[in-house]
Amino acid sequence: MVRNSASHSSRKLVFALGAMAALISAACSLAGAQVAPTIAVATNAALPALSATDSPASPTQAELSATPSGSPALVETAAPDTSGQARLVLASEGNEARYRVREQLANLPLPSDAVGVTSAVTGMIVLNTDGVIASGESKFVVDLTTLKSDQGLRDNFLQRNTLETRQYPTAEFLPLEAIGLPSPLPTSGEVIFQLAGDMTLHGVTRPTTWEVTAQIVNGQELVGSAVTRFTFGDFNLTIPRVGRVLSIEDNIQLELDFHLVLQG
């Protein structure tokens, strides 16, 4: 009886294992049947189907380009061609930045301009072959700590209270678009255009447009001037209040005399 019982239990175990294997096989077949249509949709119809013994090959460039919308971007993009760029760099001399503000002093009968100047200006503008500015490589910087006017008291007050140059020592301009600048640049003559971009002053960045007039010299140099205007409040600047100054107009004019030299 014990042998018959053990034999009967063994047959039951074998039957159970066989049934389980059959269920697993059926489940795998069913999963394969459900997955196959999804793969067919997600794969370019022009690609050959893989057999059960094939291993996936690396996709060709044409296949990567034909990846359906919504699939990960696999196609490598070519780096921009910078071989024909024109790099206009500020020369070591011939550059001066100025502010100009209208004021009424107590000891003068008529209003006059307060003017502060500095030659501590650096930077460049880089143009691609199509005339578009390479914004990632173009920038101008003015060292505000070196601004000087005809009044030392004015300079000290502006440095400490208005410009706060200990915290904000520079003004930066990032050119983004040269509106009206001919492309390619002529080898001589006058060019008048607008230079639009972002200026950062006193910790504030705002869109700014400069009016530019320049002369092209020997196809290698650009010499001219640029001007822009804004209010004190545009850059969170406080209008100076000093006893000997009766009034100050809420208008700042920035001017730049520049000497750019073509490199490369």
**Residue 211 or residue 109, greater confidence:** 211
Question: pTM for this one?
Answer: 0.68
Write the DSSP assignment of the chain as a string of letters.
-HHHHHHHHHHHHHHHHHHHHHHHHHHHHHHHHHHHHHHHHHS-TTSPPPPTT--PPPPPHHHHHTPPTTS---PPPPPP--TT-EEEEE-SSS-EEEEEEEEEETT-SS-EEEEEEE--EEEEEEE-TTS-B-TTT-EEEEEGGG-B-S-HHHHHHIIIIIS-TTT--EEEEEEEEEET--SSPPSSEEEEEEEEEEEEETTEEEEEEEEEEEEEETTTEEEEEEEEEE-GGGGTPPPP--TTEEEE-S-EEEEEEEEEEEE-
Q: Which tokens go with 7?
A: 């034999």
pLDDT at 11 over 70: no
What confidence score (pLDDT) does residue 83 get? 59
Superfamily of domain 86-263: Lipid/polyisoprenoid-binding, YceI-like (2.40.128.110)
**pLDDT grade for 162, boundaries at 50, 70 and 90:** very high
Among 191, 220, 229, 243, residue whose Cα is nearest residue 98: 229
What confidence score (pLDDT) does residue 74 get? 43
What confidence score (pLDDT) does residue 82 get? 53
Interval 72-96 mean pLDDT: 71
What confidence score (pLDDT) does residue 222 get? 94
**Residue 68 or residue 151, greater confidence:** 151
Q: How far apart are CA 191 and CA 176, in angstroms?
A: 18
Q: How far apart are CA 37 and CA 68, in angstroms?
A: 16
Q: Which tokens go with 251?
A: 């208008």
Instruction: Tell the residue number behind the tokens 């000497």, with chain if given.
Output: 259
Q: Which tokens go with 66?
A: 């034909």
What confidence score (pLDDT) does residue 264 get? 65
Residue 137 and residue 175 in contact, taking contact as beta carbons nearer than 8 Å: no
Interval 95-111 mean pLDDT: 93
Domain boundaries in the chain? 2-65, 86-263
Residue 220 and residue 262 in contact, taking contact as beta carbons nearer than 8 Å: yes
Strand partners, 25: none
**C-alpha distances in angstroms, 138 versus 130, 143, 264?**
16, 17, 15
The amino acid sitting at 69 is S
Total Cβ atoms within 10 A of residue 229: 15
Among 254, 250, 255, 228, residue whose Cα is nearest residue 240: 250
Interval 6-20 mean pLDDT: 43
What confidence score (pLDDT) does residue 181 get? 87
pLDDT digits (tens, 9 = 90+) for 24-67: 344 444 444 443 443 333 334 333 443 444 444 545 544 444 44
pLDDT digits (tens, 9 = 90+) for 221-254: 999 999 999 999 999 999 988 878 889 999 999 9
